[in-house]
Amino acid sequence: MCGINGVFHTGNKKVQYSSQVEGMNIALQHRGPDDSGVYSDENISLGHQRLAIIDLSSDGHQPFLSVDEKFVIVYNGELYNYQEIKRQLKDYPFQTNTDTEVILAAYIALGQDCVKLFNGMFSFAIWNKEQKELFIARDRAGIKPLYYSIQESCIVFSSEIRALLASEEVPRKLNKSVLPEYLQYQTVHAPKTIVENVNVLLPGSYMRIRGNKIIIEKYWEPTKCINPNVLTHSKKQVTDKVAQLLTESVERRMISDVPFWAFLSGGIDSSLIVGLMSKINTKPVNTFSITFDDQKFSEAKYSNIVAKHFKTNHNEIQLKVENFIDELPNALARMDHPSGDGPNSYLVSKATKKAGITVALSGLGGDELFAGYSIFKQALDVNSKSYLNKVPVNLRKLFGQLYARTASGVSGEKIAEVLSLSKISTRYLYPTYRKTLLNSQVNILSGAKSAEKISLLGQFAPLNRKTDLPLLSEVSIYELSTYMQNTLLRDTDQMSMASALEVRVPFLDHQLIEYVLSVSDDIKYPLTPKSLLTDSFKGLVPDEVIYRKKMGFVLPWTKWLKNELREFCVDRMESIEKRGIFEGGVVIQLWNSFLKNDPKVSWSRVWHIVVLEDWLKRNNIEA
């Protein structure tokens, strides 16, 4: 796991960018403290920071050149099937045991189609010296990030936004057009970011650049991988296949030249991962969990049940709730893109790395694939109420407004928004479900009806071509392409790599994703928590874990913001007020509503504004 950088001049002049890329490397040292390198050619410089996981020798030094020195690669990630691909590429004279060289050899043999062979998490760039072409690609699920900015005479790319800014080729300017979106969802959805003219290469995409010609294409789209034959499979066939695919996925992700561990929260997903690792490994699996001295926030009871059940080498990393307060400035300083989440992931990653762990397997993705959130059942419920579309919109809107006045909290407002939609269906419901601030609140902050102009429906454009997609699979795609992609994976990457910790996610193996999305709703329906997943591994995980109440990673944020963090929050709220990007006085009004326990303004509805200002300050972003 590493960090990559590059600057490519797209004009006619001869320009050297080695000093800029060296500065970008410095900005990425936390991602790869084991080695650093820069390659420069006519009009291009490539940079790399290395975290050694596979082949720890100097053979893994990057930028990496092909045997004939006609191709150069910088690569961030892990390719789990690289040995299999290596055996297929018999004509290439391999000099190392690295997966880096396998990617380069596959590109030399197959060109852009090489990505179709790869099973892993990756972003990489390959420079073709003879054709003067740059090829950049990103993995299917978007586990590893790739940001880029197209300037007047060059294109700059990196694993992190901060490195783009460090190049001094990218202006430090706020992207005001996405502010309403950030307010609504605590994040900005790809391909846009919070910085003007900085984009994200979408998952399952590649980019080809020759001169000033830039081509971006998708090589993988989950909706195009649905297998209609799976809809006819029996429950036994489905559970057998799910068990096979997830087992193979875990086995692939246990390949490492450094010790690997598993994060064990005591929930279904992480417990299953540990169970499969225990079946695969002949030695006891190394597991760790984060525990708290305050039992209200600790899941130690369940993680210990699982650890004893599988006889793992279990380690508890104990934290005090107060540790979060102490570490908060460090967590915010490590944030590459502002987010309403993240500090939790930072502290867990830091404590994990401090315990000597470099690679950890995670259960991320299990909820999104196997209907683990409440939205999945809500979607089926909404789908059964299609008769509401026969009621005129204005009448539905009026009823919603009346309901919102009588209901306390945010739920009434959300129901009112749903009833006022032009069409009541899952596709239109989902964007409302994931909102932090409601349309009315965003409109007050922005001083215009900007909230109504924001739509996540564009993220779901490929679904418009699929009429035979199971409804629960449709919701999974919403989750995979929005919340998971732009919040969970982004936060996991930026906060784990802040401590040079590699996190592997078996549930996001593309073969598993493709199969589970093809399963019918009848088989996938969560009669019990993630029943398809647990039925596929009956008897593997103790019942106490399967039927326990879902806890999540909950901390006393409301108390902190009103007490220990109050001064910190007020300072940033007043500071962002002075920027003039929101209506005068409205930010402070929102903060005061939170302090007065307004049920429609919880801590999460002000915290992401505090984080935004902190990030703008730290990165000297001009509003």
Tell me the pLDDT tens digit for each residue of 270-280.
Answer: 999 999 999 99
DSSP 596: T
Residues 349, 204, 108, 249: is their CA dihedral positive or negative? positive
Q: Is the pLDDT of residue 451 over 80?
A: no
Q: Are 136 and 219 in contact (CB under 8 A)?
A: no
What angle (nearest 5°) sits at the alpha carbon of residue 371, between those of residues 368 and 373?
A: 80
Mean pLDDT is highest, among 6-15, 39-48, 337-346, 455-464, for: 39-48
Rounded Cα distance between 341 and 344, Å, is 7
In angstroms, the CA 437 to CA 609 distance is 11
Res. 373: pLDDT tops 60: yes
Question: Of the given ranges (124-128, 560-564, 617-621), which has the lowest mean pLDDT?
Answer: 560-564
Largest CA distance in the chain: 73
Residue 153 has phi, psi (to 5 degrees) of: -130, 10
List Cβ<8 Å contacts ≥24 apart for 480-485: 480/141, 480/222, 480/368, 480/369, 480/513, 481/203, 482/185, 482/189, 482/430, 482/434, 482/456, 483/368, 483/434, 484/364, 484/365, 484/368, 485/142, 485/189, 485/190, 485/203
- Write out the E strands in 34-153: 35-41, 44-50, 64-65, 71-79, 120-128, 133-138, 147-150
Per-residue pLDDT, averaged over 329-349, amounts to 87
DSSP string, 273-313: HHHHHHHH-SSPPEEEEEEESSGGG--HHHHHHHHHHHT-E
* Cβ(174)–Cβ(152) below 8 Å: no
* CA atoms of 24 and 21, how far apart (whole Å): 5
Whether the pLDDT of residue 94 is over 80: the answer is yes
Q: Does residue 452 surpass a pLDDT of 70? A: no
- The winner for highest mean pLDDT among 287-301, 306-320, 551-565 is 306-320
pLDDT of residue 343: 80
pLDDT at 68: 95
Q: Write down the mean pLDDT value for the chain.
A: 90
Domains in the chain, CATH or no CATH each: 2-220 (3.60.20.10), 224-370+480-546 (3.40.50.620), 374-470 (no CATH), 557-618 (no CATH)
pLDDT at 464: 59
Contact call for residues 231 and 520 (beta carbons, < 8 A): yes
Res. 399 pLDDT band, cuts 50 70 90: confident
Average pLDDT of the residues in 73-95:
96
Reading phi first (left if > 0) and then psi (alpha if -120 to 50, else beta), residue 242 is in: alpha
Structure tokens at 542: 């103790």
**pLDDT tier, 562 (very low <50, low <70, confident <90, very high otherwise):** very high
Cα(37)–Cα(59) distance, rounded to whole angstroms?
A: 13
Paired residues of 364 in beta bridges: none
Q: pLDDT tens across 138-185, in order?
A: 999 999 999 999 999 999 999 999 999 999 999 999 999 999 999 999
Among 77-91, 218-232, 316-330, name the one with the lowest average pLDDT: 316-330
pTM (global) more than 0.95: no
What pLDDT, on a 0 to 100 scale, did the predictor assign at position 346? 85
Tell me the percentage of the chain whose pLDDT exceeds 70: 95
Q: Write down the pLDDT at residue 297.
A: 63
Label residue 459 by pLDDT band (50, 70, 90): low
**Highest mean pLDDT, choosing among 324-333, 349-358, 537-546, 609-618:** 609-618
CA torsion, points 329, 330, 331, 335, in degrees to nearest 10? 100
Q: Residue 121 corresponds to which tokens in the numbers above?
A: 């998490």
Q: What was the pLDDT predicted at 568?
A: 94
Q: Residue 304: is it exposed, middle or buried by C-beta count within 10 angstroms (0-12/13-18/19+)?
A: middle
Question: What's the pLDDT score for residue 322?
Answer: 77
Could you tell me which residues come within 8 angstroms of residue 35 by beta carbon, excluding any fewer than 6 positions away? 48, 49, 50, 52, 58, 60, 61, 62
> Can you give the C-alpha Rg of the chain in angstroms?
24
pLDDT of residue 465: 56
User: For residue 462, what pLDDT is reported?
Assistant: 60
pLDDT at residue 605 in the model: 93
Q: Any idea which residues carry the catalytic annotation?
A: 2
Q: What tokens appear for 237 in the block?
A: 């066939």
pLDDT of residue 165: 97
State the pLDDT at residue 473: 95
Strands of 10-94 (E only): list them: 35-41, 44-50, 64-65, 71-79
* pLDDT at residue number 387: 84
| Res 394 pLDDT > 60 | yes
Q: Residue range 99-117: average pLDDT?
A: 97
Percent of the chain with pLDDT over 90: 61
